[in-house]
């Protein structure tokens, strides 16, 4: 199941008829795969992360967190009571109310959005356009028009997509 559908992408791009449907579906699939490969949220998905314990807080790899299903910790996989953990859903940070998490910590959780925000939908549409246009010779050089990457670099995201993705990007540690 795709997040954005063929008809809305065709309308967004101004494509009529069905002759480009296969290429557009391929672009939609590529856009959604690129988005999720960067741990950017979309539809609600289930994940399991193995994290380093030894602290009262751990950060899961994807957010926003919808719900924590299970937590196991330590080498013996002791099951932790999820009710003893406070979850900062937006940041993906789990804080134990008392004590520290054993090492390692395995967290199974759901993350993403039940209803996709408008800016995420727009970013996916722009990515689909980005993956579709180089095949048609319609790319725009950087600094001109829509500020898309040059057609010879289909792997680089357009600036507008990066701007829309920024608030949802996972927090990294240096």
Mean pLDDT of the chain: 84
Which residues face 96 on adjacent strands? 85
Residue with tokens 């998905």: 45
Complete DSSP assignment for 125-163: HHHHHHHHHHHHT----TTSTT-PPPTT-TTSPPHHHHH
What digits encode the pLDDT tens for the residues 101-136? 999 999 999 998 888 899 999 999 999 999 887 655
d(CA 8, CA 50): 38
Structure tokens at 113: 């959005």
Count the Cβ atoms, other than its own, within 10 Å of residue 54.
Answer: 12
More confident residue, 173 or 42: 42
Q: Is 39 exposed, middle or buried (0-12, 13-18, 19+ CB in 10 A)?
A: middle
Residue 10 to residue 16: CA distance in whole angstroms: 7
pLDDT at residue 148 in the model:
47
Q: How many CA atoms lie within 13 A of 124 on its CB side?
A: 28
CA–CA dist 31, 130 (Å, integer): 8
pLDDT in tens, 62-103: 889 999 999 999 999 999 999 999 999 988 999 999 999 999
Q: What is the pLDDT of residue 153?
A: 47
Q: What pLDDT was estimated at residue 150?
A: 44
Tokens 């494509």 locate to 15
Q: Is 72 helix (H, G, I), strand (E, B) or coil?
A: strand
């Amino acid at each position: 199941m795709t997040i954005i559908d063929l008809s809305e992408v065709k309308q967004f791009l101004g494509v009529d008829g069905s002759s480009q449907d296969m290429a557009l579906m391929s672009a939609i699939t590529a856009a959604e795969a690129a988005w999720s490969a960067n741990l950017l949220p979309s539809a609600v998905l289930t994940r399991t992360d193995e994290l380093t314990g030894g602290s009262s807080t751990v950060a899961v790899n994807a957010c926003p967190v919808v719900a924590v299903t299970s937590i196991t910790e330590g080498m013996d996989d002791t099951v932790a009571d999820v009710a003893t953990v406070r979850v900062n859903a937006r940041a993906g940070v789990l804080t134990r109310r008392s004590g520290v998490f054993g090492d390692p910590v395995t967290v199974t959780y759901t993350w993403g959005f039940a209803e996709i925000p408008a800016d995420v939908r727009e970013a996916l549409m722009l990515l689909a356009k980005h993956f579709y246009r180089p095949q048609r010779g319609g790319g725009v050089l950087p600094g001109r028009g829509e500020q898309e990457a040059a057609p010879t670099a289909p792997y680089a995201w357009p600036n507008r997509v990066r701007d829309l993705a920024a608030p949802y990007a996972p927090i990294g540690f240096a």
